[in-house]
Chains A and B, each alone.
Chain A
Amino acid sequence: MENHTDAHIVPYKMYLYILGGLIMLTLISVAVTEIEFGEFSVLVALVLASIKATLVLIYFMHLKFDNKILQIMVPAIFILVALVIIIVFLDYNYR
């Protein structure tokens, strides 16, 4: 068992690349509101947000360099939330 986090140090540059990517995605998500997706506009916005969230989780929050257990737990939590939302909508969608 390692007691100190001496995992590898992420170079500054990579954070800047990721930041650039995130800002790009933000601007894209603002820009696409001009396009008429109809029913899918919610979906598009949420997909873009999820991509951004994934980038934050993997790089800013170091999941890429963390131990396996966290790499399993974090997606599991998001799946759990998704399942709860789906089940709630089993009620509202079919009422």
Chain B
Amino acid sequence: MDTSTTITHDEHRDDEASKLGMWLFIFTELLLFAGLFIVYGVYRYENQEAFHSAGKELSVPIGTINTVILLISSATIAMASSAIRFKNKKLTIRLLVVTLLMALIFMVNKYFEWTGKIEHGYLPGTDTLMNMEQGKVLFYGLYFFMTGLHALHIIVGVILITIVVIRVNKNTLSDENPVLLDNAGLYWHLVDLIWIFLFPLFYLIA
């Protein structure tokens, strides 16, 4: 008797459980970033002036465009969850591909923004930054750490959504079992949610 498979492929499938599990995971992600927001809050409180002037050097247009891009991608993946339930496979895939494209544009923007800042010598550990005032060192340390961690989440999200696209295409994911798509969506909204707070904290409060 092949018992190890009888347990994992239990005839009973529990989508509510999968969703609850995903939400709990999202809670851990929120707390992970909460730790960073605490650090940001404390150092901002202690270095008001330096954070002000450092924040002014970030490009508000690029930040705004990236925010809008992420919001659109969030909307498209949410719509994909509806589309798959309307049994519209073509539209589902299109919406997911748009989501992926948006993620790609976001990363390209991020790349140019980062390289720009690195050229100015704001990369943590470099001599130029180390010789600046302390608040600035902290600001750019946090900037690279937090947006970097966020970008890492985008990459994971892109991988996850790609898997979903492949499975929808192969019909192994349909209106019968859309929970993986829903969970990928939840994860993607989390990425969006974090950016919603990162954007004003780094780009706007100057």
Direct A–B touching in the complex (beta carbon < 8 Å)?
yes
| Residues of A bordering B, CB below 8 Å | 1-5, 9-12, 15-16, 18-19, 22-23, 26-27, 29-30, 33, 41-42, 45-46, 48-49, 52-53, 56-57, 59-62, 66-67, 69-70, 73-74, 77, 81, 84-85, 88-89, 92-93
Residues of A within 8 A of B38 (CB): 84-85, 88
- In contact, A77 and B16 (Cβ under 8 angstroms): no
- Interface residue tally for chain B (C-beta within 8 Å): 49
Chain B facing A: main interface SS: helix
Give, as a whole number of angstroms, the nearest-CB distance from A36 to chain B. 12
Query: Within the complex, which residue of A42, A49, A62 is in contact with B199, where a contact is CB–CB below 8 Å?
Result: A49
**Contact among A56, A81, A84, A88 with B189 in the assembled complex (CB-CB below 8 Å):** A56
Complex Cα distance, B204 from A49, in Å, reads 11
Q: Are B42 and A92 in contact (CB under 8 A)?
A: yes
**In the complex, are the beta carbons of A3 and B82 less than 8 A apart?**
no
User: In the complex, how many angstroms separate the beta carbon of A65 from the nearest chain B beta carbon?
Assistant: 11
CB distance from B76 to the nearest CB of A (A): 8
Is the beta-carbon distance between A30 and B204 smaller than 8 angstroms? yes
Q: A26-B68, A48-B200, A61-B189 are in contact. Are A56 and B74 (CB under 8 A)?
A: yes
B71 nearest CB across to chain A (Å) = 5
Interface residues of B in 77-95 (CB under 8 A from A): 78-79, 81-83, 85-86
Mask for B1-19, Cβ within 8 A of A = 1, else 0? 0000000000011111001
Q: State whether A85 touches B14 (Cβ < 8 A).
A: no
Is the CB–CB distance between A12 and B15 below 8 Å?
Answer: no
Q: In the assembled complex, how far is the CB of residue A33 from the closest CB belonging to chain B, in whole angstroms? A: 5
